[in-house]
Amino acid sequence: MLVVEVANGRSLVWGAEAVQALRERLGVGGRTVGALPRGPRQNSRLGLPLLLLPEEARLLAEIGAVTLVSAPRPDPRNHGLALASFKRQQEQSFQEQSTLAAEARETRRQELLEKIVEGQAAKKQKLEQDSGADEGQEASGSEATQGSETSDDGQASAEQEGADSSSPPDSSSPQPGPSNGVTPLPRSALLIQLATARPRPVKAKPLDWRVQSKDWPHAGRPAHELRYSIYRDLWERGFFLSAAGKFGGDFLVYPE
């Protein structure tokens, strides 16, 4: 059962699966009005939330596909619990991410072991050749090996995976060197999800769309009733309707 929150006469859908179900199963489109996570600074494609026309929301409630609820206010009683659980979840995520990062590093090292050994051998040869020239060469020799390892790692991973996104956690944490110590992920490299929808379940009061209230001011308005009857009729015939503000009309009707 899909739940749609209504506030001030505006119905917003925040779940992507809900949007898909509404569109594919029920033929109700709505309009995306938020920023798209992949490209938040462009206007051609927008993302969640999905804004439903009042007529669409009412239709969905009437056919029983969706429950309309008044948007719930945050409950101060649950706040302490929520805070504790959030902190716990954050720590857990941090641990898991550290482990995963370490594992990923290790597997990559294993894959490139041959190349590392080759590189080390080549460096050693080069050092032996130039050992008599500079006495500072000895001190910087170990660092140079490490440096060459990093560059080899980075190069090889770029070749293999074709994505440089895996190198940031490596570059942010200090290179462990040729040994296999597990360095923890630095706090700044922790990946955080900025949740789109509320990450916790919450209780809300159902909304009666037959009664006029602060959250649903459309009930009883003649303009709304008129639009709704037309919307319902065309929807039942199988058309797909959307808002037509851009063209100065009420609805755009598409054959489906």
Partner 1 sequence: MEPDSELATVEVPAGRVLSAAELRAARSRSQKLPQRSHGPKDFLPDGSEAQAERLRLCRQELWQLLAEERVERLGSLVAAEWRPEEGFVELKSPAGKFWQTMGYSEQGRQRLHPEEALYLLECGSIQLFYQDLPLSIQEAYQLLLTEDTLNFLQYQVFSHLKRLGYVVRRFQPSSVVSPYERQLNLDGYAQCLEDGTGKRKRSSSCRSVSKKAKALQNSLPPMSGAASSPPACDQSSQYSEKPQESSPRKGSGLSFQALGSSEPCPALAREDMECGQENDKIKNGAKGAPKPRWNFEQISFPNMASDSRHTLLPAPAPELLPANVIGRGTDAESWCQKLNQRKEKLSRRDRDQQAEVQQFREDVNADPEVQGCSSWREYKELLQRRQLQKSQPRPPHLWGQSVTPLLNPDKADSPAAVLEHVSVLQTTHLADGGYRLLEKSKGLEISFDVYQADAVATFRKNNPGKPYVRMCISGYEMIEQFDEPVPDLCSLKRLTYQSGDVPLIFALVDHGDISFYSFRDFTLPRDLEH
Question: Interaction with partner 1 in 49-78: which residues (CB under 8 A)?
Answer: 49, 51, 53, 64, 67, 69, 71-74
Count of other CB atoms within 10 angstroms of residue 247: 9
**Whole-number minimum distance, CB 113 to partner 1, in Å?**
23
Q: Is 81 in the site for partner 1 (CB under 8 A)?
A: no
Q: Is 156 in the site for partner 1 (CB under 8 A)?
A: no
Q: Write out the H or E segment, with its range, that includes residue 19.
A: helix 16-26
Cα distances (angstroms) measured from residue 59 to each of 17, 98, 213, 221, 231: 19, 48, 18, 16, 8
Contact 47, 36 (CB under 8 A): yes
Cα distances (angstroms) measured from residue 24 to each of 21, 55, 129, 154, 237: 5, 18, 71, 44, 16
Stretch that binds partner 1, among 111-119, 127-135, 174-182, 240-248 (CB under 8 A): 240-248
Site for partner 1 in 175-214 (CB under 8 A): 186-206, 208
Tokens, residue 1: 């059962």
Q: Is 154 in the site for partner 1 (CB under 8 A)?
A: no
| CA–CA gap between residue 250 and residue 244 (Å, rounded) | 5
Binder to partner 1 among 135, 165, 181, 222 (CB under 8 A)? 165
Q: Is 234 in the site for partner 1 (CB under 8 A)?
A: no
Q: Which is nearer to partner 1, 127 or 204 (CB)?
A: 204
Stretch that binds partner 1, among 24-32, 118-126, 131-139, 229-237 (CB under 8 A): 24-32
Site for partner 1 in 29-48 (CB under 8 A): 31-45, 47-48
Q: Which is nearer to partner 1, 32 or 137 (CB)?
A: 32
**Whole-number minimum distance, CB 125 to partner 1, in Å?**
37
Q: Which is nearer to partner 1, 1 or 133 (CB)?
A: 1
β 66-70/2-7 pair status: parallel
Long-range contacts of the stretch 122-128 (C-beta < 8 A, 24+): 123/148
